[in-house]
Amino acid sequence: MLLGSIEAGGTKFVCAVGDGDFRIKTQTVIPTTTPAETLAATIAFFKQFDLDAIGIASFGPIEIRQHAKDYGYITKTPKPGWSQTDFVGPIKQALGCPVAWTTDVNGSAYGEYVMAGLTNAQLNSLVYYTIGTGVGAGTVINGQFLGSLGHPEMGHVPVKRHPDDRDFAGICPFHHDCLEGLVAGPTFDARVGRPGRDVPLNDPVWDIMSYYVAQAAVQTTLTIRPDKIIFGGGVVSEGFLQKVRRDFDMLLNDYVSVPSLEDYLTMPLMANNGSATLGDFALAAKELNRQ
């Protein structure tokens, strides 16, 4: 069996081919330019193989409701040139195999769910946040994604202000001081004039960041009661998560029981967003079995 994976991001498409055991056999990276150019290069790569199914985890927003007219499209994205781009249609037509279609964060969430299933049979649900250029999250519950009207946009929830951060306007063009507007990577440039990678963890701005990320984890905990919450993306490190756990503990105030925070609020099991490729393979195999 041969499975394909497209991790479609705003700067690059990571394309991979794997076998039925989800092992990567070959992989390539295609820069995200125009839809026509990028999709043509993607198709040319996969045309070399006789795929049985392919999984796509895409930047968005995207249309995931199967009955919608524009199912399989990237919809009204801020990424120039990509609004209303049919993604699934051309791939399906060119490759002639079943296509699984979901968001980038759902793909990563699913990969972590598969990995966790191999190591911990008790894990039935998880939430995967990515905190990088943008903020988003995907939720898997018993193998299903959360989202009935469409995919979640958990990066844009309101949060309460840190007392030392009242004057920061936030950078979200839609909501100003939503979670993404307060903790996405570019907030470092906006708050302290340099990128986050140049800001040491003992700088107080990291305590402001952790206060908001902890609130997101509290909201998720009280709303979904998942078995685990995973944080990936460029902003996240184990040192930062230690601050998040501290603030989470203070904010939740032991109101509901959760596992030990070292097990509950974690980095991804797979480094370098490897969970996305694994998730895509697993979703492709699932789609194949469904058809």
Residues in touch with its own copies (CB under 8 A): 61, 124-125, 139, 141, 146-161, 174-175, 177, 215, 218-220, 222-227, 251, 253, 255-259
Output the furthest CA–CA distance in the chain (Å, rounded): 57
For residues 215 and 183, give the distance between their C-alpha atoms in angstroms, rounded to a whole number: 12
Nearest approach in angstroms of CB 40 to its own copies is 30
Nearest approach in angstroms of CB 101 to its own copies is 16
For residues 108 and 280, give the distance between their C-alpha atoms in angstroms, rounded to a whole number: 8
Closer by beta carbon to its own copies, 107 or else 136: 136
Phi, psi (rounded to 5 degrees) for 14? -95, 115
Nearest approach in angstroms of CB 288 to its own copies is 23
Closer by beta carbon to its own copies, 1 or else 256: 256
Closer by beta carbon to its own copies, 218 or else 283: 218
Closer by beta carbon to its own copies, 169 or else 222: 222
Closer by beta carbon to its own copies, 92 or else 161: 161
Nearest approach in angstroms of CB 193 to its own copies is 25
Nearest approach in angstroms of CB 268 to its own copies is 19
Closer by beta carbon to its own copies, 48 or else 223: 223
Closer by beta carbon to its own copies, 147 or else 186: 147
Nearest approach in angstroms of CB 30 to its own copies is 29
Nearest approach in angstroms of CB 125 to its own copies is 4
Closer by beta carbon to its own copies, 17 or else 208: 208
Residues 206/154, Cβ–Cβ less than 8 Å:
no
Nearest approach in angstroms of CB 94 to its own copies is 29
3-state secondary structure the chain: CEEEEEEECCCEEEEEEEECCCCEEEEEEEECCCHHHHHHHHHHHHCCCCCCEEEEEECCCECCCCCCCCCCEECCCCCCCCCCEECHHHHHHHHCCCEEEEEHHHHHHHHHHHHHHHHCCCCCEEEEEEECCCEEEEEEECCEECCCCCCCCHHHCECCCCHHHCCCCCCECCCECEHHHHHCCCHHHHHHCCCHHHCCCCCCHHHHHHHHHHHHHHHHHHHHCCCCEEEECCCCCHHHHHHHHHHHHHHHCCCCCCCCHHHHEECCCCCCCHHHHHHHHHHHHHHHHHC
